[in-house]
Structure 1
Amino acid sequence: MIPVAHEADPPATLKVFHEKTVRRKGGVRLTRAASETERAIAHFTNAAHYAGNKKVSKENFVFRIYSEKEVSDYLDGKFNKKCGYCESAMAHVTPKDIDHYRPKASIEGAGYAYHPGYYWLGANWHNLVVACPRCNRSAGHEVPGVNDIQQLGKASQFPLLREGVRVRSHTGVLDDEEQARLLLHPYFDQPGDHLEFGEDGLVRPRIQPDGRPSEKGLHSIEVYALQRAALVEQRKKTLDDFDFLVRDAAHLIAMHAHVRNARARRSNEAQLQLVFVKMAGFFGAKAPYQAMLRQYLERHRGSRRFAALRRAGLDLMDLLAA
């Protein structure tokens, strides 16, 4: 997971939030998103639908704004067609989900169950995250080092450090529970402060200044299924492929010192340039697993692993500025 730049207000290109309006009595005009939010509030606060923290009717409210094409297309660009949680590229493999970071219809997890959920955030711009189905939906997964299949995936989970601060109504103030939320948000957190990626493809909660593992890191790994075996294997393969290019570049540099023929030297230089271009591709906007690769470079920035490249004037740390 990497931080994703986010505007304070919905961009004007999202017409469903700005230009497409609905007429109401008294001449008041609302955006379609605002209108949907008002209807959601009316539905979910109706005792005929929800009472005593339970759903008591069969009638469902259908949220539509978040999945409209204009919203979907904009989020594709925002997340570079990658999962906002695990960073896997999705466009060529599976359709994306648009996840509500705070679940809209119900909130359910180990030790807590609430109906309804954060119904007033169904069309809220700050609450929409592109996610792959493996992170967003509950399913059985293999986990390295664990014998049994684990049921993982976000679904309707939204754990808090203290349940007593959970906001249960549209009249509440979300700031009251911000300090207690336990899931990383790509808009509002620096995930690298909480997640540490190893060269084995595994991810661990980063140790905090107080000496304890990050609570946000720990819960995000579990809820977003970031330790599922298939994902761990793919991260490791990506890092192995990048490391192969590092070794290939070092080999070409070593060969260059012994090449005397001008044509051979030019060929060697061209190959080295091609390898470096391929390395840079691992840090392109649409490339997966940026958090792991960036930590890998930072971890080895002064080590012998990159020494040959540095002597040749190739500083891999420049890739971080790409």
Structure 2
Amino acid sequence: MIKINRPKIPNIKIYAEKSESLAPELRANLLKLIDENAVHFPDFVARLKDENEKFTKAEEETLEAINYYADPENFKNKDKKVPSFTVYKNKELREHIRTLFNDKCAYCDSVFLGNSTADIEHFRPKKAFNPFKDGIDEKLIEPGYYWLAADWHNLLWSCILCNRKSNLDQPNVEGLKPLGKKNRFPIAEETKRIRSHNQNLETEKAILLIVDPCADDPDDHFVFPVKEEKDVGIVRAKIQENAQPSKKGEISIALYGLNRTKLVADRMEAGLDLKSIFMGLLDSIEAFSRKKNAGEDTSEEIEKFKFQKKRFQSKMKKTSDFLSFKKMLLEDFKNFPQLQRLGLTIESLLE
């Protein structure tokens, strides 16, 4: 997982074009349900009072969700039409999210589209949530974070194995385990969970128990051991200043399934590939120096160097998979005697 700096809401039709009208009765009911001091909707009350005011598609969907989910009586009425969530499926929005996450899963940092489809993931579950206390699945609780279903800041690009729940195996773990996020959303103090669109979501952030790649720095919570061959490809919770492993890291690894066997194998393969290219790059530089000192033709070595350097740099581009893992490998590569003997640095090879 890598840190993603999310930009402002994209200027696309569903977020920018105010073309949706609301029925008078819907406006009247919403005025009863939305607190004019609600931090997430600072101008909704004033706009709802203006009968000529129109809303964007994302705003309309959010308001319809508030109208339904904020009234407990609606859950008892089986005939009541449940509003649908469709904005997050918008093709233009989907493209912006794909680009933001560089075609990689927000959680496992893998490039997966060649073998699987992508999910537009809601970090905070929209319809219902599973408290997942102590790593145990619990009954779904309604409503979820219904007012965030179309929220740009709540949407991520994810592979189906991180986003959905599947029974998968893990190295050195007996049997299959249910891995994947699904509706799981644990926090440290359940009584402080935000359950209403009128509450300030910021107060919940301090008690989240899973890593949000757009709000947290994953490097603060995860570490990839590279010293022992048996550990290569495994992710572990980073030890904190209190000498304890990151709680967020531990729970995130289990919840997202970041140590599922195939993913560990893919990381290991990516690491071996990077190491092979790096060693080939050093060999070409050493061969060049040797031939140059001997007064021999170095044209072949120059071409090999250019090719290997280009490959090495391509493995560290923002669109390349498993970047956090690879960055830790590079730290280990700095101790290679051959690199030091040649008087080179990792940074110079990536320029």
Same fold (TM over 0.5): yes
Higher share in helix: 2
Cα deviation for residue 45 of structure 1 reads 2.2
Alignment map for 1:157-172 (pairs within 5 Å): 157-172=184-199
Q: Could you tell me which amino acid in structure 1 is paired with residue 121 of structure 2? A: D
Of 68, 86, 89, 1:67 maps to 89
Per the alignment, do residues 65 and 298 of structure 1 end up closer, same or farther by CA in structure 2, a change over 3 Å counting?
same
Match of 2:4 in 1: 4
Report the equivalent of 1:90.
112
Contact 2:10 2:96 in 1 (8 A): no
Partner of 1:122: 149
Question: Do residues 18 (structure 1) and 16 (structure 2) align?
Answer: yes
Q: Which secondary structure does the structure 2 equivalent of 1:148 belong to? A: strand
Counterpart check, 1:284 vs 2:317:
yes
1:298 and 1:317 in contact (8 A); partners too: no
Q: Which of 306, 321, 327 in structure 2 is aligned with 1:273?
A: 306
CA contact (8 A) 2:286 2:342 kept: no
Aligned counterparts, 1:231-270, within 5 A: 231-259=263-291, 260=294, 262-263=296-297, 265-270=298-303
Q: How does 1:181-200 map to 2 (within 5 A)?
A: 181-199=208-226, 200=232
Please state how far the C-alpha of 1:129 moved relative to its aligned partner.
0.6
Q: Which moved more, 1:266-275 or 1:132-141?
A: 266-275
Partner in structure 2 of residue 142 of structure 1: 169
Shift in CA distance, 111/143, structure 1 to aligned 2, threshold 3 Å: closer
- Equivalent runs, 1:309-320 vs 2, <5 Å: 309-312=339-342, 314-318=344-348
Secondary structure (helix, strand or coil) at the match of 2:4 reads coil
Measure the CA separation in 1 of the matches of 2:78 and 2:243: 46
Deviations 1:212-268 (A, max 9, x none): 1001111111111101000000000000011111222232233334324643x1111
| Percentage of identical aligned residues | 30
Q: CA distance change for structure 1 residues 91 and 313 in 2, over 3 Å: closer, same or farther?
A: farther
Contact 1:136 1:154 (C-alpha < 8 Å) held by counterparts: yes
Deviation at 1:310, TM superposition (A): 4.9
Matched, 1:225 2:257: yes
Secondary structure of 1:140's counterpart equals: strand
| Letter aligned with residue 315 of structure 1 | T
Shift of 1:48: 3.7
Matched, 1:153 2:204: no
Question: Which residue number corresponds to residue 215 of structure 1?
Answer: 247
| 1:269 alignment partner AA | I
Once the two structures are superposed, what CA deviation does each residue of 1:113-161 show, in whole Å capped at 9, x if it has no partner? 4211000100111100110001000001110001110110000010001
User: What is the CA–CA distance in structure 1 between the aligned matches of 2:79 and 2:89, rounded to whole Å?
Assistant: 25
Distance 1:300 1:248 in 2: 13
1:182-235, Cα deviation, whole Å (9 max, x unpaired): 111111110011000123100000000111100111111111110100000000
The 5-angstrom pairing of residues 91-106 of structure 1 reads 91-106=113-128
What corresponds to 1:173 in structure 2? 200
Answer whether contact 2:5 2:214 (CA < 8 A) is retained. Answer: yes
Secondary structure of 1:147's aligned partner: strand
**Are 1:31 and 2:64 counterparts?**
no
Counterpart AA for 1:197? F
Q: How far does residue 20 in structure 1 lie from its aligned partner after superposition?
A: 5.0
In 1, are the aligned partners of 2:87 and 2:150 still within 8 Å (CA)? yes
| Poorly superposed stretches of 4+, deviation over 4 Å | 55-59, 310-314
- Do the aligned partners of residues 250 and 151 (structure 1) sit closer, same or farther apart at CA in structure 2, a change above 3 Å counting? same
Q: Distance in 1 between matches of 2:311 and 2:80?
A: 55
Q: CA deviation at 1:293?
A: 0.5
What's 1:202 paired with? 234
Kindly report the root-mean-square deviation, in angstroms, between the aligned alpha carbons of the 2 structures. Answer: 2.0
The CA deviation at 1:56 is 6.4
Output the amino acid matched with 2:236.
Answer: R
- For the Cα contact (< 8 Å) 1:17–1:31, is it kept in 2? yes
> What letter is aligned with 2:314?
G
SS of the aligned residue for 1:131 comes to: strand
Superposed CA offset, 1:86-125 (max 9, x none): 0111222211101000000010132654211000100111
Q: Residue 271 and residue 319 in structure 1: after superposition, are their counterparts in 2 closer, same or farther (change >3 A)?
A: closer
Bigger Rg, structure 1 or 2? 2
In structure 1, distance between residues paired with 2:296 and 2:121:
57
CA distance in 2, matches of 1:319, 1:105: 49
